[in-house]
Structure 1
Amino acid sequence: MIRRWRTAAGRRGIGRTAALALAALLTALLPTMLTASPVAADDGRGYAFVPDARTISGATGTAAAVPLEPGTTYRSTLPEKGKLYFRLELAAGTTAYVPVTAVPPADATVSASDGIGVSIEDANGVSCGYDGARFGAGLSPRPVTALGRRDTGKALCQDAGTYYVIVERLASGSRTTTPGSWDLEIAPVTEPGLARAGATTAPGTWNSASPEPLTDDPRRRTAGAGFATARTLDTGVWQTGISPGQTLYYAVPVDWGQQLHATVELGSTSGDTHGYVNAALNLSLYNPVRGYVDDLSLGYDGTQKASSLAPLPPVAYANRYAVSGEENSVRFAGAYYLVVHLTGQTADTFGQGPYDVTLRVRVDGTPNSGPDYAGSPVPKGVFDPPSVQGGGLVAGAGDHDTTAMRVLAAGGIGTGTALLLVLGVWTLTARRAQIRVNAQKPTA
């Protein structure tokens, strides 16, 4: 009789009670977790790397190149000179995307033509694709992202086998550029082929007219500090503060058949309006595999400024056959990233801020089912639009944590703490059950 609470039925009852108690606890904490500020450096200008990224060293040649696994996010270091080599094993029908984000020190000095280049080559040294990213006229150190790509359906690089990812610095040779290495984040993604052949030309016509501007009252939403911590935005007017040298990350869910429109505004300063900063604010748009789509820059004289990204076609698989880079890049559904950077030079002319930034985001069109893939992309779900409920954090490509654990981490509650909560609830419930059993036992 003393062990009655240990029967299977008793264990199921305790399990149900513990699960309900834990669910109630998580329900109470969930709103706070979803709106918690993303991880960032203390100065507000740091890049938020994927917390569990695997640290690797790039090789100086192909023979020692370390393998990259699609769906895994990596951290590495790019030296001032020389190239880094990484290895990919690809199937014949698989398209591969390897985005590389380079993060220079926040106090570095850079020139407009400094940046990084990323390419993919086959085992015979044939180039499959190349992309470069530079800091531009803002002359401000910030995270820059370039995408290595191996497309199926082209004349070259079609065979299964070993491919190499090559990352290098693009140096201007300027004596003012700060020497030293840069941190890297690498997040490879693979896309399966189609189950059956589809269109091989881009859609001929689409609505390229700019929509009527949104006039809603702005809602405040803080940003993430990296792709993995980007905060989601849906259609609406959104506002936040930005400091000189800071980079903000947002993610907009865009489904198959939908069009994205975005406008950015930099608010006026309350201080001195004498002076001018060239390319003070930069807005860049990246697709779900962190591939560059479009960008714009705003000069600033202390008065409010605004500009819009160029109209984009509805998201469609066949856009990959377009000649235009912007159209070619909106080739799949998922999280489209809006990345905002305010050059550090703004502080010298107009003060430390923060400055108000307004984003007017519009997603038009009725979603459709999209292409019939022959398999699943890696990581799974990378081409699914993220939820915007609560403006939560977006899981970055290559992040294998479960949604629940990512939410716990975003709210400052780690996996270990979550397990302690479970055990605590279980132990408390078990003790109460034991007390009830003891109370019901007949006395000797």
Structure 2
Amino acid sequence: MGVMVRGRTTAWAAALCLVAGAPGAAYAEGAAPGPLPTYRAADGAKAVEGTSSTADAPKIEAGNAYQDTLGPGERVYRLVLGKDDSDVYVSAVVRPAAGAKVSGGDGIEVEIMTTAGSSCEDSAGRANFGYDAYPIGAAGVRWGREDANCAPAGVYYAKVTRTSAKGYDQSPWPLEITVQREPGRGAGAPTTAPSAWPSGAPALPGTEAAPRSGGTGFNDARALGAGVWRDEMRPGQTRFYRVPVDWGQQLGLGAELAAARMTKTYGSASGGLTVALYNPYRSLISDKDTSYDGKQAGITLEKTPPVAYENRFARDRDVRPVSLAGWYYVAVTMGAKVADFTEDATPVPLTLRLDVAGTPAKGPAYKESPAPGGFGVGDEDRAAAREGLTAPEAAEAAGRHSAMRVVAGAGFGTGTVLLLVLGCWTLLGRRRGRGPTAV
């Protein structure tokens, strides 16, 4: 009987090891890379088909993600909201096909409306493309307490609009919608915008870089903390990262592309490097681009204001989104035109420098926990940043830890399983350490 138990335990632990080693597959040494990885959609996203008018608009609910397609024009979705002072955020992310032709005026907008057709106050969020087509996101907001017209319980509509100039890509693109709810605040929460905050260029670290391979989108963004991180990019690729930023903290970041292997004596791509920063509900905070000549390019974004609830009352659109603690997302894009003068098969080194300044402060008083809505920074988030885990990897790790507790509680084979799982974690760490070319 004991032999059978040990065999089952060892086999089960070996299966865990396969799961642990699954993420982070790397290109074989010297092998030519294949197609660029595609955007990873949200796990469990529900198929939905928005309408061109409010009639028969499909219902979307907080806590869920949805998949649709979006051509130039509008898609409308229905929200049924309660009178609970909560703020509700509807984000939309579009994923153009590789090589899609876009203009600087092309983009998306999300707006929340009443049944009377009026826009909720300060509800609209917008994002535009630069020189290339890459995933972009925008978010609309229903302010549950500050906007008297949109505070009552009842039906509202989220309108997602895609603008596309004549002569540019008109085909439908995959659309991902997420709905997040921030609970109403309790007594004593601030109600006016801050008068001033420390701003300007961040003091970025200059330590040795550690490898971290970025994700394909918001759903598998690689977790980072303060420090210097190394990745690799190919023309036309966008890498996503996530950083936990708590109440009272400021995020500063810089991105650098090193020298590429040139195929021409000279070349230059406008928008060869683009960096975008999003808040926890996928609203664009700021973005910046610069040209790249195959030798060196760098971008530094101004550090954010300290994360504060009262920032949502500011008139400055760069300040208003920095009003929630949680995961902030960094998207880095290498322009597709870089392939015109560099060797596509040889990835270019990317260096990210991150500074998270300030001591975590106490958050505002909420009527209930904001964590179910995806807001706040907990110990698990800090651990994920230290380990460099994506959200799916963090969920898998939590499942393994839970399973280990079950095995330990059973009182048999625990030592064997622990040794095997620790070995798996070592293997996974080594693979992640080689991660710059992982997809």
Deviation at 1:36, TM superposition (A): 5.9
Residue 196 to residue 119, structure 1, CA distance change in 2 (3 Å): same
- Residue type matched to 1:106 in 2? A
- Residue type matched to 1:130 in 2? A
Query: Aligned partners of 1:64, 1:286: CA distance in 2, in Å?
Result: 32
Deviation at 1:28, TM superposition (A): 5.1
Question: Following superposition of structure 1 onto structure 2, how do residues 41-440 of structure 1 map, counting pairs within 5 Å?
Answer: 43-80=35-72, 82-92=73-83, 93-128=85-120, 129-136=123-130, 138=131, 140-152=132-144, 153-173=146-166, 175=167, 177-271=168-262, 272=264, 274-352=266-344, 353-377=346-370, 379-384=372-377, 386=381, 387-394=384-391, 403-404=395-396
Query: Aligned partners of 1:19, 1:330: CA distance in 2, in Å?
Result: 50
Contact map agreement 1:273 1:301 (CA 8 A) in 2: no
Deviation at 1:209, TM superposition (A): 4.4
Q: Normalising by structure 2, report the TM-score.
A: 0.80
Deviation at 1:26, TM superposition (A): 7.7
Query: Aligned partners of 2:354, 2:361: CA distance in 1, in Å?
Result: 21
Deviation at 1:94, TM superposition (A): 1.6
Query: Aligned partners of 1:321, 1:78: CA distance in 2, in Å?
Result: 31
The one-character-per-residue Cα deviations of 1:153-210 (angstroms, maximum 9, x if unpaired) are: 134322111110111220212x2x1331110000110111111142222222322243
Count of aligned pairs between the two proteins: 389
Residue 101 to residue 211, structure 1, CA distance change in 2 (3 Å): closer
Deviation at 1:380, TM superposition (A): 4.1
- Residue type matched to 1:277 in 2? A
Query: Aligned partners of 1:18, 1:368: CA distance in 2, in Å?
Result: 50
Unaligned runs of 5+ in 1: 6-13, 396-400, 409-417, 430-444
Q: CA RMSD in A?
A: 3.1
Query: Aligned partners of 1:79, 1:405: CA distance in 2, in Å?
Result: 38
Q: Percent identity?
A: 35
Query: Aligned partners of 1:374, 1:322: CA distance in 2, in Å?
Result: 23
Query: Aligned partners of 1:108, 1:279: CA distance in 2, in Å?
Result: 15
Deviation at 1:297, TM superposition (A): 0.6
Residue 147 to residue 273, structure 1, CA distance change in 2 (3 Å): farther
Structure 1 stretches of 4+ moved >4 Å: 17-31, 33-37, 405-408
Deviation at 1:379, TM superposition (A): 3.6
Query: Aligned partners of 2:312, 2:63: CA distance in 1, in Å?
Result: 22
Query: Aligned partners of 1:225, 1:36: CA distance in 2, in Å?
Result: 14
Secondary structure in 1 matching 2:320: helix
Contact map agreement 2:239 2:333 (CA 8 A) in 1: yes
Secondary structure in 1 matching 2:149: coil
Contact map agreement 2:180 2:374 (CA 8 A) in 1: no
Deviation at 1:134, TM superposition (A): 1.7
Deviation at 1:232, TM superposition (A): 0.3
Deviation at 1:30, TM superposition (A): 7.3
Q: Normalising by structure 1, report the TM-score.
A: 0.80
State the match for 1:9 in structure 2: none
- Residue type matched to 2:353 in 1? R
After TM superposition, the structure 1 stretch with the greater mean CA deviation from structure 2, 217-226 or 298-307, is 298-307
Deviation at 1:34, TM superposition (A): 6.6
Query: Aligned partners of 1:45, 1:113: CA distance in 2, in Å?
Result: 26
Deviation at 1:326, TM superposition (A): 1.6
The one-character-per-residue Cα deviations of 1:212-245 (angstroms, maximum 9, x if unpaired) are: 3311111111111011101100111111111111
- Residue type matched to 2:170 in 1? P
- Residue type matched to 2:284 in 1? Y
- Residue type matched to 2:376 in 1? F
After TM superposition, the structure 1 stretch with the greater mean CA deviation from structure 2, 63-72 or 200-209, is 200-209
Query: Aligned partners of 2:372, 2:306: CA distance in 1, in Å?
Result: 23
Find the structure with the greater CA-based Rg: 1
Unaligned runs of 5+ in 2: 27-32, 414-439
